[in-house]
Amino acid sequence: MSKDYEYMLKAYAESGGAPEVFKDSRVAHLVVHKNKVYGSHTVKGLVLEPRETETGVDISLLVEKGQKIEYPVHLCFGVLPDQGVQEIRIRAKIEDGAGVSLLAHCIFPNAVNVVHRMEAEIEIGNNAFYEYNEVHYHGTTGGVEVVPKAKVKVGDKSYFRTNFSLIKGRVGVFDLDYEADVGESSVLEMTARIFGYGDDRIKIREVGRLSGKGSRGLLKSRVAVKDNAQSEIFNELVASAPEARGHVDCVEIVQGNARAKATPIVSVLNEFARVTHEAAIGRVDKKQVETLMARGLEEEKAIDLVISGMLK
Amino acid sequence: MKAMEGELLKIENLSLSLGGRQVLRELNLKVEPGAIHAILGTNAAGKTSLAYTIMGISGYTPKEGRIFFNGEEITHYPIFKRAQLGMTMAWQEPARFEGLTVEDYIKVGMKEKDPGLIKEALNFVLLEPREYLKRVVDKTLSGGERKRIELASVFAMKPLLAILDEPDSGIDVLALDHVVNLIKEMKRRGTTILLITHREEVAEIADKASLLCQGFIVKEGEAKEVGEYFKKKCLPCPVYNPEEKIEEVVEEK
Ligand SMILES: Nc1ncnc2c1ncn2[C@@H]1O[C@H](COP(=O)(O)OP(=O)(O)OP(=O)(O)O)[C@@H](O)[C@H]1O
Ligand SMILES: [Mg+2]
């Protein structure tokens, strides 16, 4: 095992991953450092093909018809030096009746000037599911720019879910842009949990088009910012089919000089559709904090507990 | 300044205004250690405001008067300091928390995080620990479940003084007996209880009671006697909270 790979695994463990899985033959995985593939393994029903490029890796992922991948596919993307660019392109196709869950760790622990771009195109067939859990660790200096983009097409009677989490260490500059089209009786769920401080900049844009009859969508954001951090969230749900239902749920907690903005856009283009939204932006809820203080917690600890619960 | 020997909680001449309205008026109260002391009063009498003022909730700073706890003046102490001295409160409408489990919520106030005591507390309020410990204290709990968890968390904290703001509201008949038992057990274990309620049958378990009307304490004494008075005079009170009536009521006291 090369020294770099060892460092990668160490950083992976520090960001909450369990490196033992890379030895488990039942679990598919892919480990990418900058533009080098350090490790790759696949399982029956899953085609996982990484191709190194000049600035990153192009990945083709296919889950074959009717195949439900038993264990989550573990992905690890990282840049260990303090400088570097990494561009990841993913083409994913989940065929009819197939399903897969992925757990990705993106780690830039020493970043001073690191750029990570991710561009995903995901096509989900009918009666299929795709779940993408993404955990980021960017170190404590804030020298990272992370730009994830995804375009997703969800067929009928299918499920698409993302969970994004960046709650330890600095954010740096973060600019997420996800769009999904949702077919008949299918479900879209996108959740992001981010904690920003220092002069972090957080921008989230999520768009869900509920274009299939009886489709469902939930866009959920939980962001806490303090110091001089800023956060901006655009959540948009468009329901254009009968019985489509959607909900946008955004909570941003602001402390110190931090700034937060939320723009929920909900549009309904069919008289039998319905979309709701709720957004709460501002200081941490007074009653929650005082409840914990009445059990003996000092104010700061009470605030921390409320925020860490929200980001869990 | 030390309070007189004998009371755990002593309130002297307390007045509170909220949004230009006087909500508590020259209120005096003494709570004996080891007692269950009921505060009876109809809606809007000022019961919750009194509880908040004792606990030190922001916005409930008295314009006059002093509060002593266990011999120490606490009138201007922050909430957590009062709690660290051994008082706590179960809210009439407890807050909800995202991502905080019942177990973690109960643990917050406990000095020793004894898992046996957490389970015991939940059993007391008829919530099966196996089912509830990992539930989240968020919107998915029913109102009654949330209130019972609130009581369990106060029980597990083993405070010197527990202010219970209408522990009986939103609790069904079956669970009510258990809530009453929990309060009695807290007393048996050495907690003094300020029991806020507008149900005189709940106030019956108290040793002493004070009757609050329009921010005044208009009657004090044995719980049974005050309860009878409340039932006869307050519940049928025809003119709800008329300003001119207050003088009359206070006169009667
Ligand atoms: N923040 C506030 N600003 C203005 N008025 C308030 C405020 N809080 C309470 N009040 C008023 O003070 C009075 C007492 O309210 P409080 O909540 O203490 O009554 P309560 O006895 O607990 O009633 P209930 O039985 O309905 O719980 C009410 O008339 C209420 O409208
Ligand atoms: Mg009240």
For B57-103, what is each residue's pLDDT tens digit? 999 999 999 999 999 999 999 999 999 999 999 999 999 999 999 99
Q: What local confidence, expressed as pLDDT, does residue B3 receive? A: 43
Alpha carbons A33 and A226: distance in angstroms, whole number = 31
B4 — pLDDT class (breaks 50, 70, 90)? very low
Q: What local confidence, expressed as pLDDT, does residue A224 receive? A: 97
Q: What's the rounded mean pLDDT across residues B44-66?
A: 96
B4 falls within a domain: no
A29 falls within a domain: no
pTM over the 0.90 mark: no
In this predicted structure, the answer to whether residue B247 has a pLDDT above a threshold of 60 is no
Q: What's the rounded mean pLDDT across residues A76-87?
A: 96
Q: What's the rounded mean pLDDT across residues A208-226?
A: 97
Give the 3-state secondary structure percentages of chain A, helix then strand then coil, rounded to 5: 10, 55, 35
Q: What's the rounded mean pLDDT across residues A15-37?
A: 94
A306 falls within a domain: no
In this predicted structure, the answer to whether residue B193 has a pLDDT above a threshold of 50 is yes
Query: Token pair of B66, please?
Result: 């002093």
Domain count along chain B: 1
B43 — pLDDT class (breaks 50, 70, 90)? confident
At B141 the three-state DSSP class reads: coil
In this predicted structure, the answer to whether residue B241 has a pLDDT above a threshold of 90 is no
CATH code, domain carrying B16: 3.40.50.300
Average pLDDT, chain A: 96
Q: What's the rounded mean pLDDT across residues A229-257?
A: 97
In this predicted structure, the answer to whether residue B250 has a pLDDT above a threshold of 60 is no
In this predicted structure, the answer to whether residue A121 has a pLDDT above a threshold of 60 is yes
A296 falls within a domain: no
**B80 contacts in chain A (CB < 8 Å):** 293-294, 296-299, 302
Alpha carbons B169 and B146: distance in angstroms, whole number = 12
Q: What local confidence, expressed as pLDDT, does residue A79 receive? A: 95
Q: Which residue has the higher pLDDT, B172 or A293?
A: A293
**B83 contacts in chain A (CB < 8 Å):** 293-297
CB nearest to B88's CB, from A294, A302, A306: A294
A39 falls within a domain: no
pLDDT digits (tens, 9 = 90+) for A140-163: 999 999 999 999 999 999 999 999
CB nearest to A298's CB, from B80, B88, B95: B80
Determine the distance in angstroms separating the CA of B100 from the nearest CA of chain A, rounded to an integer: 5
In this predicted structure, the answer to whether residue B252 has a pLDDT above a threshold of 70 is no
Q: What local confidence, expressed as pLDDT, does residue A217 receive? A: 98
CA-nearest of A166, A169, A165 to A140 is A169
Q: What's the rounded mean pLDDT across residues A258-286?
A: 95
In this predicted structure, the answer to whether residue B236 has a pLDDT above a threshold of 90 is no
B14 — pLDDT class (breaks 50, 70, 90)? very high
Alpha carbons A45 and A39: distance in angstroms, whole number = 19
- Ligand 1 centroid distance, CA of B249 (Å): 19
Domain count along chain A: 1
Q: Which domain holds residue A148?
A: 46-69+80-284
In this predicted structure, the answer to whether residue B125 has a pLDDT above a threshold of 80 is yes
Q: What is the DSSP string of A83-143?
A: EEEEEEEEEEEE-TT-EEEEEEEEE-TT-SEEEEEEEEEEEE-TT-EEEEEEEEE--SS--
B1 — pLDDT class (breaks 50, 70, 90)? very low
Q: What local confidence, expressed as pLDDT, does residue B2 receive? A: 46
B2 falls within a domain: no
Average pLDDT, chain B: 90
Query: Token pair of B247, please?
Result: 């003088």
Could B100 and A290 be called an inter-chain contact, meaning their C-beta atoms sit closer than 8 Å? no
In this predicted structure, the answer to whether residue A21 has a pLDDT above a threshold of 70 is yes
B234 — pLDDT class (breaks 50, 70, 90)? confident
Whose atoms come closest to the Cα of B47: which ligand?
A: 1
Q: Whose CA is nearest to atom 17 of ligand 1?
A: B48
In this predicted structure, the answer to whether residue B238 has a pLDDT above a threshold of 90 is no
A190 falls within a domain: yes
B93 falls within a domain: yes
Task: Tell me which of B61, B74, B81, B108 to substitute to probe the interface with A (most A C-beta atoms closer than 10 Å).
Answer: B108
ipTM over 0.85: yes
B232 — pLDDT class (breaks 50, 70, 90)? confident
A278 falls within a domain: yes
A253 falls within a domain: yes
Task: List, edge to edge, every strand of the sheet that includes B21-31.
Answer: B21-31, B9-18, B64-69, B72-73
Q: Which domain holds residue B34?
A: 9-250
Q: What local confidence, expressed as pLDDT, does residue B239 receive? A: 46
Could A291 and B94 be called an inter-chain contact, meaning their C-beta atoms sit closer than 8 Å? yes
A41 falls within a domain: no
**A220 contacts in chain B (CB < 8 Å):** none
